[in-house]
């Protein structure tokens, strides 16, 4: 009914209105995943990870017409306090938490079962369409680019720290360090890079006094800022500010 209403009247607020009248629990365990964590950030990180895997599993069951049980599931966040909830949602207790990425594995019998509603040739058309859509879309941030975006935001919030940045990425610090090593870099190298870029932005894009710039990028005083800027650019902060384009 909801789908028909939305299709018939796509510009109405029928979706939000139905949700407004639906108490927590109306959408099953997914509701509780969003509302039961210690903070909204942690709840959302957990829910998005599990719901993505759950959605794929639901579609796999629908496609095969079988009650498929995953042979293994991995999710990136740590195990929730109520460990039985994800098991009920996914139909298995073979769930590995704190993994580098989310995944879902099936048995050989399940992945090779013929689909009862298969339409020969349609899959190739859909793949071609998907390739065209992807080619026209904006590139998705890679793992390192996403880390850098989060690190820059942490600098601007005055909350730079390995544990804090890892928390914003919904991973543990050890996992974050391992991912950086996979890109042949380190936490120290990346924080220095981000500090350099932010320092240049603040000096050339704002009128903040040098002590304020030093504080924004995590330096104890102007002398430390001056040494860092000279190391990066061979200039003083004042000279770098005067060299701003335009």
- Stretch 200-209: mean pLDDT: 88
User: Minimum mean pLDDT among 16-25, 51-60, 123-132, 135-144: which range?
Assistant: 16-25
The tens digit of pLDDT for each residue in 42-63 reads 555 566 566 677 777 777 888 8
Over 60: is that where the pLDDT of 146 sits?
Answer: yes
Over 90: is that where the pLDDT of 210 sits?
Answer: yes
Sorted by where each starts, the structural domains of the chain and their CATH numbers stand as 2-117 (no CATH), 143-242 (1.10.10.60)
The DSSP bridge pattern shows strands 72-74 and 103-105 to be: antiparallel
- Confidence class for position 187, pLDDT limits 50, 70, 90: very high
Over 60: is that where the pLDDT of 170 sits?
Answer: yes
The model's pTM is: 0.44
Over 70: is that where the pLDDT of 110 sits?
Answer: yes
Which residue did the predictor score with more confidence, 180 or 28? 180
User: Minimum mean pLDDT among 115-119, 129-133, 170-174, 233-237: which range?
Assistant: 129-133
User: Minimum mean pLDDT among 50-59, 97-106, 209-218, 222-231: which range?
Assistant: 50-59
- Confidence class for position 15, pLDDT limits 50, 70, 90: low
- Stretch 119-140: mean pLDDT: 72
The tens digit of pLDDT for each residue in 17-32 reads 555 566 666 656 555 5
The token duo for 156 is: 């601007």
Average model confidence (pLDDT) across the chain: 78
- Stretch 58-71: mean pLDDT: 84
Q: What is the pLDDT of residue 122?
A: 76
């Amino acid at each position: 009914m909801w789908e028909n209403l939305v299709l018939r009247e796509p510009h109405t607020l029928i979706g939000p209105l139905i949700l407004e009248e639906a108490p927590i629990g109306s959408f099953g365990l997914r509701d509780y995943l969003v509302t039961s964590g210690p903070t909204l950030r942690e709840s959302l990180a957990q829910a998005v990870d599990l719901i993505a895997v759950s959605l794929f599993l639901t579609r796999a069951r629908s496609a095969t017409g079988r009650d498929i049980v995953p042979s293994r599931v991995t999710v990136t966040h740590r195990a929730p306090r109520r460990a039985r909830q994800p098991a009920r949602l996914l139909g298995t207790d073979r769930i590995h938490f704190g993994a580098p990425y989310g995944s879902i594995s099936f048995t050989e019998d399940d992945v090779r079962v013929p689909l009862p509603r298969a339409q020969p040739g349609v899959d190739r058309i859909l793949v071609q369409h998907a390739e065209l859509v992807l080619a026209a879309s904006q590139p998705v941030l890679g793992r390192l680019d996403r880390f850098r975006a989060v690190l820059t935001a942490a600098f601007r919030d005055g909350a730079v720290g390995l544990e804090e940045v890892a928390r914003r990425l919904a991973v543990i610090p050890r996992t974050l360090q391992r991912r950086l090593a996979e890109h042949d870099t380190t936490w120290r190298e990346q924080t220095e890079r981000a500090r350099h870029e932010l320092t240049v932005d603040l000096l050339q894009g704002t009128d903040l006094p040098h002590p304020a710039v030093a504080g924004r990028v995590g330096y104890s005083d102007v002398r430390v800022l001056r040494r860092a800027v000279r190391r990066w650019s061979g200039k003083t902060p004042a000279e770098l500010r005067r060299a701003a384009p335009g």
